[in-house]
Amino acid sequence: MTEKKINPVNQVSHAFAQEGALAKAIKGFSPRQAQTDMALDVAQAIDKQSSLIVEAGTGTGKTFAYLIPAFLSLNAKKPKKIVVSTGTKNLQEQLFHKDIPLIKKALASNAQVALLKGRANYLCNYRLAQYQNSRGQLDAQMLQDLVKVKTWANGTQSGDIGELVNVSEDSSIFPFVTSTLDNCLARDCPDYEACHLVRARQKASDADIIVVNHHLFFADMALKDTGFGELIPKAQVMIFDEAHQISDIASEYFGEAFSSKQLVDLCTDVLQVHRSSLTDVKQLGLAAEKLQKTCQEFRLLFNYDPERGNWREKYKQIQFQQKFENLKIDLDFLYQVIKLCVSRNEAIDNCFDRAVNLLAQYDVMANVEAYGMSFWYETTPRSVVLHQTPLTVSDKFSEVVKESGAGWIFTSATLAVNNRFDHFAQHLGLQNAKQLMLDSPFDYQRQSQLVVPRYLPQANDKNRASKLAELAQPLIKASKGACFMLFTSYRVMHQVAEILAENIDNPLLVQGKMAKRKLLEQFVEQDSAVLLATASFWEGVDVRGDKLTCVIIDKLPFASPDDPLLQARCEDARRQGGEPFSQIQLPQAVIALKQGVGRLIRDVSDRGVLVICDDRLVNKPYGETFLKSLPEMKRSRDINNAAKFLESLS
């Protein structure tokens, strides 16, 4: 008698039905056809291990539409290991701590699920022991934080530093008590058996479903390419949520990076070894301190404010070339001194390996004429990172997908441009993937208005900020706060914030004044608050109901023409006879705008006004591409109409 095969399609349909598992587990659940359609296609892609691209409009319920078929597939005779990758650590935590437990309960599943983060999120016992015995390099605040870390370390099971609520997220202590790929001693570490990262990886290795984030996924993929990475165990199914981000992230990890921070970290660790166990080698301390000083001098050549720019152009300037060559001279000298100490202990051997790798990375960044690459830099207040990024990853990524034989599922609320997936699919070499586009279930005509105001000054006009603030005031008053103003530039954001502070009584929350999470908490808690923010608030922010009824966007979010990676991609498109604006700049801006627009209507009962302060939406031929990609909202050019609509909501 043959064993009856479980039909995954029937199981999925039943889970989403009126009397199904979700309806029994979730109060108020009602079936949505778009959600069921997506779930059935995901189930098929998992079963056949094929590729699928899905744009699921806001409100489709895409999280359950991929998680339910993932869990049900584990009931098959040969269950598949599944990796779910999200855009941010916050979304990763929400999936693991909120959505997955609910689904496990609804399906009565005993599947093993693991949360895996990058190594910088885990306490390193070895480095903690090193630095608590040698405190010369720590200031008063860092010493206070070190005491808190040590107390927590005695009781933690996971070693996940996210548990440390009493230490600031950006505390300077974390680099001293976590490891990097460079300074990890791996199997040579005396604390290897108790290593939190190793244990987290082991849990992931044993799990049926592993929840990661895009940066970790691609960092691991890039490492596997060189034969080192085994962070994410080999899986048969990969599911990417917020997939619109992965083209740029993949480019970053398929490239190379070289930072002055890596050099400074190496020097810090060499000085630590010198002070604790190799005091007889005076040259170690001298060489490390000399390289540290040269790193500081190299950073000082760049502007004080953090920026991104073209490294090829900078390298042509004599002062940059000379300082960069000084880095090589001092790094080489440190390498020669470390070489004399090899085999004296594991820590100095690790420093030697890092010096060798850094010399090789240096040579990559000095070869600025390499073909098919963008060379660019970015600065933080203390360091400089040089990048060599491939202009396209389509060949490499499509090869990985093909060779894996796995199912690859990509979903987001914003993948299509002008109702087509060409931009997303071509960038990743996914032209053969099945495509599915699902509209949002929301009634945008009834729930919202889109306003494009008339007579606004041009983007570079000195009166632009005052006009934006003037336009916003009646809308803020009508919505009683509950308003987001999203900007494409910090400068304009701060100018508008200054003007509004003098003219309205509402609490003003401005990005940069506090952590993003804290800013959002205050926005929800404070009645009538107005939040002013830039790029990072255009996506991944979920404020529902009457807490947010008005979103004002200052202009169409075209990437800065000075962005070095964009410049290089445009140049490459031109060389191949393409049209950079329509192929690269326009699709990027459309997807970014769709993300910003998606902040407004988050639920069937939400209502509100979207104001886009950019005439190009109606005056330029390409404006039609933007409008076709946005939800079908009721349109107006009259701010007074919008204010009346907002007043009617209260």
Q: Both 339 and 451 in a single domain?
A: no
Q: Both 483 and 560 in a single domain?
A: yes
Q: Both 381 and 473 in a single domain?
A: no
Which range marks the domain in which residue 498 is found?
A: 444-649
Tally of CB atoms within 10 A around 153: 18
Output b/e per residue, 368-391; b: 16+ Cβ within 10 A.
beeeebbbbbbbeeebbbbbbbbb
CATH label of the domain that carries residue 580? 3.40.50.300
* Contact between 74 and 85 (Cβ < 8 Å): no
Instruction: Please report which helix (H) or strand (E) contains residue 379, including its range.
Output: strand 373-379
**Mean pLDDT score, 284-294:** 96
Question: What are the tens digits of pLDDT across the range 290-349?
Answer: 999 999 999 999 998 888 899 999 999 999 999 999 999 999 999 999 999 999 998 999
Is pLDDT at 2 greater than 60 in this prediction? no
Looking at the DSSP bridge assignments, the partners of residue 530 are 483, 508
If DSSP codes are grouped into helix, strand and coil, which group holds residue 83? Answer: strand
Q: Both 381 and 456 in a single domain?
A: no
| Amino acid letter for position 279 | T
Question: What are the tens digits of pLDDT across the range 217-269?
Answer: 998 887 765 444 566 768 899 999 999 999 989 988 888 999 999 999 999 99
Question: What are the tens digits of pLDDT across the range 95-126?
Answer: 999 999 999 999 999 999 999 998 999 999 99
Edge to edge, the sheet with strand 483-486 lists 508-510, 530-533, 483-486, 550-553, 608-612, 448-451, 634-636
pLDDT computed for residue 9 by the predictor: 72
Cα–Cα distance list, 508 to 83, 502, 505, 522 (Å)? 41, 11, 9, 10
Q: Both 630 and 534 in a single domain?
A: yes
Planar angle of CA 118, 120, 121, nearest 5 degrees:
75
Q: pLDDT grade, residue 289 (50/70/90)?
A: very high
Tally of CB atoms within 10 A around 642: 25
- Please report whether residue 401 resides in a domain: no
Among residues 174, 383, 352, 117, which one has the least CA distance to residue 260?
383
Residues 6 or more apart in contact with residue 333 via CB below 8 angstroms: 287, 290, 291
- Please report whether residue 221 resides in a domain: no
- Please report whether residue 56 resides in a domain: no
Q: pLDDT grade, residue 438 (50/70/90)?
A: very high
Instruction: Please report which helix (H) or strand (E) contains residue 532, including its range.
Output: strand 530-533
CATH label of the domain that carries residue 364? 1.10.275
Is pLDDT at 91 greater than 50 in this prediction? yes
> Which parts of 445-502 are beta strand (E)?
448-451, 483-486
Q: Both 460 and 373 in a single domain?
A: no
Lookup: tokens for 68: 């339910």
Q: Both 339 and 479 in a single domain?
A: no
Is pLDDT at 451 greater than 80 in this prediction? yes
Tally of CB atoms within 10 A around 469: 21
Lowest mean pLDDT among 132-136, 161-165, 323-327: 132-136
Cα–Cα distance list, 103 to 7, 74, 108, 115, 244 (Å)? 19, 13, 8, 16, 25
Give the Cα separation of 479 and 643 in Å (integer): 8
Give the Cα separation of 115 and 155 in Å (integer): 20
Planar angle of CA 571, 576, 582, nearest 5 degrees:
65
Lookup: tokens for 31: 């079936």
Q: Both 370 and 457 in a single domain?
A: no
- Please report whether residue 337 resides in a domain: yes
If DSSP codes are grouped into helix, strand and coil, which group holds residue 408? Answer: strand
Residue entry with tokens 């209260």: 650
Q: Which of 344, 368, 388 is the last residue of a domain?
A: 388
Among residues 533, 530, 591, which one has the least CA distance to residue 557?
591
- Please report whether residue 247 resides in a domain: no
Residue 85 burial by Cβ neighbours in a 10 Å radius (0-12, 13-18, 19+): buried
Q: Both 375 and 460 in a single domain?
A: no
Among residues 99, 135, 34, 133, which one has the least CA distance to residue 413?
34
- Please report whether residue 10 resides in a domain: no
Question: What are the tens digits of pLDDT across the range 28-70?
Answer: 888 899 999 999 999 999 999 999 999 999 989 999 999 999 9
Q: Which of 357, 388, 419 is the last residue of a domain?
A: 388
pLDDT computed for residue 228 by the predictor: 43
Planar angle of CA 550, 552, 556, nearest 5 degrees:
145
Number of domains in the chain: 2
Q: Which of 371, 388, 405 is the last residue of a domain?
A: 388
Give the Cα separation of 54 and 56 in Å (integer): 6
- Please report whether residue 582 resides in a domain: yes
Tally of CB atoms within 10 A around 106: 20
Q: Both 480 and 571 in a single domain?
A: yes
Q: Both 365 and 450 in a single domain?
A: no
Lookup: tokens for 423: 């931009």
- Please report whether residue 361 resides in a domain: yes
pLDDT computed for residue 224 by the predictor: 60
Q: Both 382 and 450 in a single domain?
A: no
